[in-house]
Each structure stands twice: as structure tokens, then as C-alpha cells.
Structure 1
Amino acid sequence: MATPEFILSLRKHVGHEPLWLTGVTAVVIAESGEVLLHRRADDGSWSTPGGILEPGEQPAAALVREVAEETGVDVVPERIASVVTEPPFTYPNGDRVQFMDIAFRCRPAGGSAHADEDESLEVGWFAPERMPAMNERIMRRIAHAREEGEAYYTAP
């Protein structure tokens, strides 16, 4: 994934020290029940689309922007599916981060699913029983979005 300019600027000052970031994830579910996934250009893994909020950006607006950039699909966020703090993570270059992720259940509203060649190698719709292997945290987000009711969070 392309690193946002504001992160590159921060890294000039903090080096590889941990950054606390807010991420958004879209679990886009079609009327058929299929889920929109993309194969990430940075590591080749399948995932739900999403990204990092830019300074001052609202979470839902960031989500809509990221999905369109990565997949070509226009979405309407329907509800928050989960809000969780993920474990700290170190990128191969040594940059350390920790994300608070806000996952939204979304419905498709237009556009055409295609890879953007910068952040996505492939884009596709997958039936729940035919999804490719994915990271456990991605699978949890999909499960929370498919559930009816309130958003998932870790209770105090």
C-alpha cells in the first residue's frame, strides 16, 4: 500500500518509533451475500479494502475513498461493524505501528470492480464459502459485519 505523505513526513522526525494510527476497513457485502476482496500489492495477500485516515478526514469518507481507489467500487457505509485496537506491528522496513481499526459494513452502490495496479493486484467478489485464505483479523472483521446487531468492541 502506498504510504500517505503525512506518515512519510512524521517518519522523518520519529524514525521507526511506534506510530498510533486510525485505520478503516470496508466489508462490502452484495445482495447475493458475496464479499468484495482485493489482493494487496504490498504483500500479495487477500484482504478487505481499507486504509489510514488522513489528518482531519472523517472515517466514513476515508472508507469510501479507499474502497474506490483500491477496487473501483463505490460504496455506502451502512453501519459500524467493529472497533478494535490491533496488536503492534512492524513493517519489513522496521517502521512500527499500532492501529485502531473501525470496520464498516457497506453495500456496493456502483463502479466496476478492478485492480488499480498500485495497491491491488486483483479484485473480486467471493461467496462466504469460497473465500481465499486470509489473516485471522480480516476474517473476524468479515464475521462481525455479517452479524446483525450492535458493533463489536472489547468490553472494559
Structure 2
Amino acid sequence: MVGPDCLLWLPGVVAVVRNEHRQVLLQRRSTAGLWTPLSGILEPGETPAAGVAREVTEETGVRVVVERLAAVTSSPPVRHSNGHRAQYLELVFACRPAGPGQLPRVCDDESVEVGWFALDALPSMSERMRELIALVEKDEPRAWFTPAS
């Protein structure tokens, strides 16, 4: 069943892209006007690392190297403009630009603004998005996840 009464469970990817100046690449989403790391939904059959790299390039024009899986989380349920409800299994990746000096630009209708921000001067965003960035900043060798209780 698909529709407003069904909660869709979807595979999502989140890219926390950090450059050599310790800045993070963010987008201000057109749907709610909120700043977030780059994110999207995997295409059928797409690997998560390829999907996260594709999403960053599609949304900002910046090519990235995916360095590691930093966290596995799930989003809170959301209601989209078409009335459908969804919740995302989020694979959060630490990424870096594939080369120096790449200037991000808005490349599709998902963003109204994109840019590099210093970690100590992030724009207004949800606490949850700040937590995802902080998980990547910890540079842990193993991915973070909520332990089973």
C-alpha cells in the first residue's frame, strides 16, 4: 500500500563534506528553507557510496571522494508535500572534495542556496543536523549507531 496512510521506509544517504579549510558543504533546502548537509535517496541497485557522491554532485556540482561510513541513523517520520509519509534509514558518510577549489552552485530545485561554512560558524539548522555533522567530526574509525537495548 502506498499513500498518506502508509509510512514508507526508504534508504537515504547523507554527505558531510569537509574541505581542507575545515569547512562543511551545506544546502538550504527549497522545501522548508532549512540548512542541512547534502542528502538524498538511493536509486534502485545503487551502492550507498556511489549514491552519496551522485547526490552531492547533482545538488552542488562538487565532486567528492567518499572517505568512510560515519553513522547509521534513522530520520523522524516526515510528511511530503504530496501527502505521503516517509522515514529514512540514513547512511551518513564523511566526504571530501575530489580536488581543491571546487565552488558549489545550486544545480537543481532541491536547494535555494549552497555553500561552504566554517564548523564554528554554521548557519541556523536543526539540532539533529548539527549532531550528524558532529558524528563525522569525531573521526571515529567505526560507524556510530544506536545500540540495541
TM-score (normalizing by structure 2): 0.90
Preserved contact between residue 3 and residue 83 of structure 2 (Cα < 8 Å): no
In the other structure, the counterpart of 1:10 is: none
In the other structure, the counterpart of 2:121 is: 130
CA distance in 1, matches of 2:46, 2:11: 11
- Give the superposition deviation at 1:121: 1.1
Q: Secondary structure at the match of 1:87?
A: coil
- Give the superposition deviation at 1:117: 4.4
CA distance in 2, matches of 1:57, 1:38: 23
Equivalent of 2:3, from 3, 9, 15? 15
Equivalent of 1:70, from 49, 55, 59? 59
> What is the 5 A alignment of 1:1-156?
14-16=2-4, 17-110=6-99, 111-149=102-140, 150-156=142-148
- Give the superposition deviation at 1:85: 1.7
Unmatched runs of 5 consecutive residues or more in structure 2: none
CA distance in 1, matches of 2:131, 2:113: 22
Unmatched runs of 5 consecutive residues or more in structure 1: 1-12
TM-score (normalizing by structure 1): 0.87
CA distance in 2, matches of 1:95, 1:30: 36
